[in-house]
Chain A
Amino acid sequence: MTTVDEKGYYGEFGGAFVPEMLYANVEELRSRYLDIIYEPAFQREFQHLLREYAGRPTPLYLAKRLSAHYGFTIYLKREDLLHTGAHKVNNTIGQILVARRLGKTRIIAETGAGQHGVATATVCALMGMPCVVYMGEVDMARQAPNVARMRMLGAEVRPALSGSRTLKDATNEAIRDWINNPHDTHYIIGSVVGPHPFPDMVARFQSVISEEMKGQLEDHTGRAHPDAIIACVGGGSNAAGAFYHYLDDERVRLIAVEAAGKGIHSGHSAATSILGTKGIIHGSRTLLMQTPDGQITEPYSISAGLDYPGIGPLHAQLIGSGRATAIPVTDEEAMQAAFFLARTEGIIPALETAHAFAALDRAGIAPGQTAVVNLSGRGDKDLAAYMEEMGALKIL
């Protein structure tokens, strides 16, 4: 059950639990998205922009020094080299082309780390469409460079002031904006979350990651599949893209790395697969962090892009069924992994991505095996956090 069924479910997860005010918008998208995205003219335009504008295909790089350190072969899928610096642009290019074919003239988005906001602002500038990005007030402070980038690109960044003032609340605000603007607006959601068809649509746009990976692995190793794929999971879009073409290939272990914040049971964590229970968040039935009374609780992670109390329904299904393994990684472990990658391979990863690297030594990968880490984004946006760490370590 790794693909979505007609009603939008992955097994027991998914669906579209939306108030009537959103029904028409969601239904319009649901009834048309597959026809739109598999239309040849759409595919031509999408592939052209991915290649010429975003910089695809991204390299699959053999990380020799990292491999030597861990004793198995590690390839890095370099989504960090894409235009705007993360995988997010794969989805925003796809969705803005869908929006245009739906006749929409205004774009809204939510953002956590600001990478999805930047990727949305970018394609809006490219298409000459007005763009409003909702971002938690807390995240605006910790990802200030991305706020500036969005504004430079012409987007309006609106602070989400409710709740924990992070990604969950920015998503609530974007959904409310969509309710208030049902005719002209498309909501470019930033991960494999939200009501059906968003999780499936975003996964399809991100699936280019594993599509390329197959051919590249074949070229490098003579074998189109690795033994394991490791990706960080906020909502789960980079992981969904990296897993997509291997979902039914049981030879490939799928490893979803979650943010454990200050420790799983510290009260400051975003390790949804462990702390979460079944429920509904942002219109999707999935695993989420909540009180026994069904109030959604505030997650915590040092990385704004993993600071989400749910996971996409695809991942709830993959983890629940045992197809994927979830590994929690703390702030501190992610920070160490970021510095280690910087000094071993000369690559400064996003803090979100650093979580995936921290899982390398406990993913149970045997000597001689091959693992791919999805290097979802680059670390420029996190320099303030890295500088603070260097200050503490007296390197700066």
Chain B
Amino acid sequence: MKINRLSTILASGKKNLLSIYFTAGYPALEDTAEIALALAEAGADFIELGMPYSDPLADGTTIQDSSQQAIANGMTMDLLFRQVEDIRRRTDIPLVWMGYLNPVMQYGEERFLQRCAATGIDGLIIPDLPLHEYEANFQPLARQYGLLFNFLITPQTPEPRIREIERLSEGFIYMVSSAAVTGAQAGISAEQIGYFERIGAMGLRRPRLIGFGISDKDTFLTACRYADGAIIGSAFIRALSKGSTPAAAAKSFVETVVS
């Protein structure tokens, strides 16, 4: 089996992993690859490429709005795969496909995973994919195609379920920082730190990345004290309009976080 770029970086022992989420096809349809390249160049460790969805239940207004815009721009599953091929010709940064289950079902589960592998996707996050559905219908194919599924936990996830998620996760464990949809709120509370420490003490076999509400260098570094890295999404998407081009904005955003 070919080497998976995501598993390579997760196994590297590198600390303070920075993952950036953004909506593919936003602000303009063809910005996806340029933003991804800028992220790689500026020092992001991996990228979560968001396939826009009409009804993103777990997302706040920033990602809802960027998704709506991307769909209006003409984003489709096939176009995203073509953009991934373009990104892959130009960088080796690990790519995680993130999106909701319905478009995957319509594409066809096997055809989807096969295309992911063929175009150079390394991992997947499908927040509304139930664990038993994953185990029954996705896990064998994901193994066959060398793709790593990553699952979410929240402050409400009970411990036996976290163990189940640990057992099924082949990439990283995505720690949702608080009971909330995506969209940066200010700071990290003592209660959240208590949750980070509680999960830290479980000694999970998989790396942990903290996401939701991570918005800048300060919150990034705080999160990294309790995990292997962190994920920035909404704050990054909002920053895309603050530069001469989205790619330039992406680069300067990442530089302020990793500097």
Contact A296 B154 (CB under 8 A): no
Question: Contact between B128 and A180 (Cβ–Cβ < 8 Å)?
Answer: no
Q: What residues of B have a CB within 8 angstroms of the CB of A282 in the complex?
A: 55, 57
- Taking a contact as CB atoms under 8 Å apart, the answer to whether A292 and B106 are in contact is yes
A279 touches B77 (CB 8 A): no
Contacting residues, chain B, for A297 (C-beta < 8 A): 54
B101, A17: Cβ atoms closer than 8 Å: yes
How far does the alpha carbon of A278 sit from the alpha carbon of B102 in the complex, in Å? 9
Residue of B77, B128, B181 touching A17 (CB-CB under 8 A):
B128
Contact A279 B179 (CB under 8 A): no
Give a binary string over B55-78; 1 marks a CB under 8 Å from any A CB, 0 the rest.
101101100100010010000110
Do residues B154 and A24 form an inter-chain contact, with CB atoms below 8 A? yes
Residues on the A chain within 8 Å of B151, using CB: 20
CA distance A22 to B128 in the complex (A): 10
Residue B118 at the chain A interface, CB threshold 8 Å:
no
Residues of B within 8 A of A176 (CB): 57-58, 60, 181
The answer to whether B152 touches A280, judged by C-beta atoms less than 8 angstroms apart, is no
User: In the complex the two chains form, is B180's CB within 8 Å of A179's CB?
Assistant: yes
Identity of the chain A residue whose Cβ is nearest the Cβ of B105 in the assembled complex: A279
- A292 to B106 alpha-carbon distance, docked (Å): 7
A296-B102 CB under 8 A given contacts A20-B127, A179-B179:
yes
B54 adjacent to A163 (CB under 8 Å): yes
Chain A residue contacts of B101, Cβ below 8 A: 17, 280
Name the residue of chain B whose CB is nearest to the CB of A168.
Answer: B55
Chain B residue with minimal CB distance to A17? B128
Docked Cα-Cα span, A22 to B181, in Å, equals 10
Q: Is A293 a contact partner of B106 (Cβ separation < 8 A)?
A: yes
In the complex, which residues 1-44 of chain A have their Cβ closer than 8 Å to any Cβ of chain B? 7, 15-25
Per-position 1/0 for A125-138, Cβ under 8 A of B: 00000000000000
| A279:B180 contact, CB within 8 angstroms | no
Verify if B258 is at the interface (C-beta below 8 Å from A): no
Interface residues on B, range: 35 or more
Please, how many angstroms separate the alpha-carbon atoms of A183 and B178 in the complex?
A: 12
Closest residue on chain B to residue A7 by CB atoms: B132
Please tell me if the beta carbons of B180 and A180 are within 8 angstroms of each other in the complex: yes
- Determine whether A172 belongs to the interface, using a CB cutoff of 8 Å to chain B: yes
Q: A293 to chain B: which residues have CB within 8 Å? A: 76-77, 103, 106-107
CB distance from A25 to the nearest CB of B (A): 8
Say yes or no: A294-B176 contact (C-beta < 8 A), given A17-B129, A24-B154, A24-B156: no
Which A residues are in CB contact (< 8 Å) with B68?
Answer: 162-163
**B226 at interface (Cβ–Cβ under 8 A)?**
no
Interface string of A337-380 (1 = CB under 8 A from B): 00000000000000000000000000000000000000000000
Known: A181-B179, A294-B103. A24 touches B55 (CB 8 A): no
The smallest beta-carbon distance between B161 and chain A, in angstroms, is 8
Q: Please tell me if B157 contacts chain A, counting CB pairs below 8 Å.
A: yes
How big is chain A's contact interface, by range?
35 or more
Q: Are A24 and B157 in contact (CB under 8 A)?
A: yes
A162 to B153, CA, bound (A): 27
Please measure, in the bound complex, the distance between the C-alpha atom of A17 and the C-alpha atom of B101, giving whole angstroms: 8
A100 to B127, CA, bound (A): 30
With A19-B128, A292-B106 in contact, do A172 and B57 touch (Cβ < 8 Å)? yes
List B residues 60-98 near A (Cβ within 8 Å).
60-61, 64, 68, 71, 76-77
Chain A, Cβ-Cβ closest to B180: A180
Bound-state Cα–Cα, A293 to B130, Å: 21
Query: How far is the CB of A232 from the nearest CB of chain B, in Å?
Result: 24
Shortest CB–CB separation between residue A79 and chain B, in angstroms?
30
- Cβ distance A58 to chain B, nearest Cβ, rounded Å: 35
Instruction: Name, among A7, A168, A179, A297, the residue most crowded by chain B CB atoms within 10 Å (CB to CB).
Output: A179
Q: Is the CB of B55 within 8 A of A283?
A: no
List residues 62-87 of chain A with CB under 8 A from any CB of chain B.
none
Give min CB distance, B126 to chain A, whole Å.
9
- B103: chain A residues within 8 A (beta carbon): 293-295
Residue A290 interfacial (CB < 8 Å): yes
A21 touches B76 (CB 8 A): no
Q: Is the CB of B54 within 8 A of A20?
A: no
B105 touches A294 (CB 8 A): yes
Known: A180-B181, A280-B102, A293-B76. A20 touches B176 (CB 8 A): yes
A20-B157, A280-B128, A290-B102 given; A180·B57 CB < 8 A: no
A18 CB contacts on chain B under 8 angstroms: 57, 128, 130
Asked whether, in the complex, the Cβ of A19 is within 8 Å of the Cβ of B127, the reply is yes
A21-B58 in contact (CB<8A) = yes
Given the known interface contacts A163-B55, A163-B68, A296-B55, the answer about A182 and B105 at a Cβ–Cβ threshold of 8 Å is no
Give the CA-CA distance A23 to B127 in the complex, in Å: 11
A290 and B55 alpha carbons, distance in the complex (Å): 11
Q: Chain B: which residue is nearest A295 at the CB level?
A: B54
Q: Does B53 contact A (CB under 8 A)?
A: yes
Q: Which residues of A contact B105 (CB under 8 A)?
A: 278-280, 294
- Nearest chain B CB to A298's CB is how many angstroms away? 9
Q: Which residues of B contact A (CB under 8 A)?
A: 53-55, 57-58, 60-61, 64, 68, 71, 76-77, 100-107, 127-130, 132-133, 151-154, 156-158, 161, 176, 179-181
Q: Which residues of A contact B (CB under 8 A)?
A: 7, 15-25, 162-163, 168, 172, 175-176, 179-183, 277-283, 290, 292-297
Interchain residue pairs with CB less than 8 A apart (16): A15-B133, A16-B130, A19-B58, A19-B128, A20-B151, A20-B153, A20-B154, A24-B157, A25-B156, A162-B68, A163-B54, A179-B58, A294-B103, A295-B53, A295-B54, A296-B102
Given contacts A18-B57, A19-B128, A182-B179, 19 further A-B contacts (CB under 8 A): A17-B130, A20-B152, A20-B154, A21-B180, A24-B156, A24-B157, A24-B158, A162-B61, A162-B68, A176-B58, A179-B180, A180-B179, A181-B179, A281-B55, A283-B57, A294-B106, A294-B107, A295-B53, A296-B55
